[in-house]
Structure 1
């Protein structure tokens, strides 16, 4: 089964607790459960991580070069600042889908620029936590994974 790395950036550990009017009430554990359920249906294996530290996310992307067929990434605030994450993603050869729970384009202007989008094969924003599932479906489609639903 192809392995997909689902990587989450700063403050996503507070999903469901921090600004629920923007990010909703689902927790990151809820997101992981939903992703694992869908991944099994799609015939994918999943590695799910969250870190508040940029270097840790870069290390997981480096690891994905050797172990994963695709990456779903919600870099959170690092979206707008991290050339290091962009450089790491540029060294990854599989499909990459960038996810944002909120519609970043309806928010503060500094959120409108994404370094990650320069590498991403797709960007999903404003679909709530369902964006993760859409991203997994897209990666599965790009990989030609069996057992699509």
Structure 2
């Protein structure tokens, strides 16, 4: 199957909604950070699969910013899409919003950037289509992506040089 040369960000857009139950929360009555991270990785993988149309693996989680606590009984909506691509890698942005179901108030609670790599049938990195931003948010994230890519590359190089 031949890969298209490019795809819009919207082709990878993925949304997941969850109601926060007691088993999702800690002793403060707020959602476990690790549970949020699990959901973020899952929705990012789905976005990567939609873009690459082949197996993908998590290569890095570049940032995970908890902006406010998610509370018991709130509904969270995770939205993910591919913001930028390199040869076989995809930067994926995930935004987590919480909604108070009684008031209807919505707030961004977590933002994250992850990198996924597409794999061929032998488990080797495989080329992915370029991504084309369309909305203002997509354009801004796409424009700032090369800087994040360079920071990831430098971090990886430093780890190799330091034997880590």
TM over 0.5, yes or no?
Answer: no
Instruction: Report which of the two has the higher share of strand.
Output: 2
Structure number with the higher helix fraction is 1
Q: Which has the larger radius of gyration?
A: 2
With structure 1 as the length reference, what TM-score do the two structures score? 0.29
Instruction: Output the TM-score relative to the length of structure 2.
Output: 0.27
